[in-house]
Amino acid sequence: MTLHTLNKKGSLICLFFVLIFSSCSSPKEDVKEQRLAGNALGTTYHITYIGEALLGFEQSIDSMLVAFNYGLSTYDTNSFISQFNANKAIVERELKPGFEHFAVMIEKSIPIIEATDGAFDPSAAQLFKIYDSFKKQQRLIDTSTMAIAKAFKGFEDIRFDEKGILIKNRFKSYNFNAIAKGYFVDLIANLLANKGYNNYMVEVGGEVHCKGLNTRQQAWQIGIKSPVMGAEPTDYFEVMPLSNISMATSGNYQNFYVVNDSIIGHTMDPRTGKPLMSDLKSATLMHQECAVADAYATACMVLGLDQSIELIEADSSLSAFFIFEENGQLKGVHVK
C-alpha cells in the first residue's frame, strides 16, 4: 500500500504482542484456513479466518484504510485531523467520510478519559508534541512550556459555528494514536462478522481481536513478549488463550532517553505533562472492543500497577495481565 500512515502511537506506546498463528499440522479436510497480511498504519497486519476465501477482502481493507488515514493520520498534512489541528476552515457540507472516524474517536475517548481521571487523553496532543520535540533534541523537558500546553486540553470547544464551519480552540490539537490501531482492528473484525465468519483472528501492530476457535478447535494463542531490551520476537513472557475478546498491550521499557545521566521516561502523564518511569513494565488489557483495550492499556502505564489493578477490578468489562519489576525480577499478575 502506498498510503499515508499513522505513527505507532507516537512515542507513547510500545508493542509487545507477537502473534502465535495456531494452525494444525493436519487440519480437518472441511476446515479452510485463510490468511492475509499487509501493511497499515505504519506497521503490519495479519488476519486468519476460517471458511471460504472472502472475495475482495484485501481491497475492502484498503478502502477502509484510505478513509481511516484521512480521518486520523497525523503524518498526512492533508488528513482531516491534520487540517483541523492546523485550524483550517472545514465546512460541514464538505466533510469527507474520514470525519466519521474522528467523531467516533471522540465518542469512544470521552468516557475513558473520565474513567481514568485523564490518564488517557487524546486531547493532550500539544503535550505529546512537546515531549517528542525534547526527546528528538535529547534535552531535558522544559516544565514551564509543558505547564502552558497542559492548559489546552479537552473536546468541549469543538462545534459548528453559524456558517457551518467546524471550529475549536485554536491552541488545542488532537492525536488518537493511542486508540487508533485498536479501532482499526475493530473495523476489520466487524467486516468479517458482518460477512458471517465466526472464527477469526485480526492483528494490527500487536493489537488483537479473536473470535471463535482456530483450526484445532482451540482458543487462539497470543503471546505477550517479555518486556526486556533486546528480547527476541519469540521470547514470550505469557501466552494468552483468546476467544471472543480483544487484547492490547502498552509498555514503558523502550523509547526512554537519557540526558546528563537522567533517564527521561517513555510514558508521559497527560495530567501533569511529566514523563514517567515505574515498576510497571507492560500492561495487557482485554475488552470486547480492541479500541477500548488499546486506550486502557495506555492509561494503565500512566497510572502504575496499584491504581491499574483498582481500575480493572472496578470495571467488569475489563481484565488485564500486568508485568512488573520487583526486587530486580519481572513478575506477572492476572487481574480477573
Has residue 19 got a pLDDT over 70?
A: no
| pLDDT of res. 250 | 92
User: How do residues 194-250 score in pLDDT, each as one tens digit?
Assistant: 999 999 999 999 999 999 999 999 999 999 999 887 777 788 999 999 999 999 999
Quick check: 268 and 131 in contact, CB under 8 A?
yes
Sign of CA dihedral 147, 149, 152, 155: negative
3-state SS of 82-128 is HHHHCCCCEEHHHCCCHHHHHHHHHHHHHHHHHHCCCCCCHHHHHHH
- Whether the CA torsion 301, 302, 304, 309 is positive or negative: it is negative
Structurally, what CATH architecture does the domain formed by 17-335 represent?
Roll (3.10)
The set of cell numbers assigned to 278 is 515505574
pLDDT score of 23 more than 80:
no
Compute CA distances 43 → 8, 16, 181, 205, whole Å. Answer: 7, 13, 10, 5
Distance CA 180, CA 226 (A): 24
pLDDT band for position 22 (50/70/90)?
very low
Q: What is the per-residue pLDDT for 255?
A: 61
DSSP string, 198-220: -SEEEEETTEEEEES--TTSSPE
The CA–CA distances, whole Å, from 290 to 218, 246, 325 equal 21, 5, 26
- Kindly indicate the confidence band of residue 1, based on its pLDDT and cuts at 50, 70 and 90: very low
Residues 6+ apart with CB under 8 A from 49: 33, 34, 192, 197, 199, 200, 201
- Of all residues in the chain, the percent with pLDDT exceeding 90 is 67
Taken in order 164, 72, 77, 133, is the CA torsion positive or negative?
positive
Per-residue pLDDT reduced to its tens digit, 68-114:
999 999 999 999 999 999 999 888 887 877 799 999 999 999 999 99
Higher-confidence residue of 185 and 163: namely: 185
> How far, rounded to the nearest angstrom, does the alpha carbon of residue 221 sit from its chain's CA centroid?
20
Cα 161 from chain centroid (whole Å): 32
Neighbours of 37 (CB within 10 A): 11
Give 261: exposed, middle or buried? Use CB within 10 Å, 0-12, 13-18, 19+. exposed
Compare 249 and 18 and report the one with higher pLDDT. Answer: 249
Give the separation between CA 59 and CA 324, rounded to whole angstroms. Answer: 41
User: How far apart are alpha carbons 65 and 251 in whole angstroms?
Assistant: 26
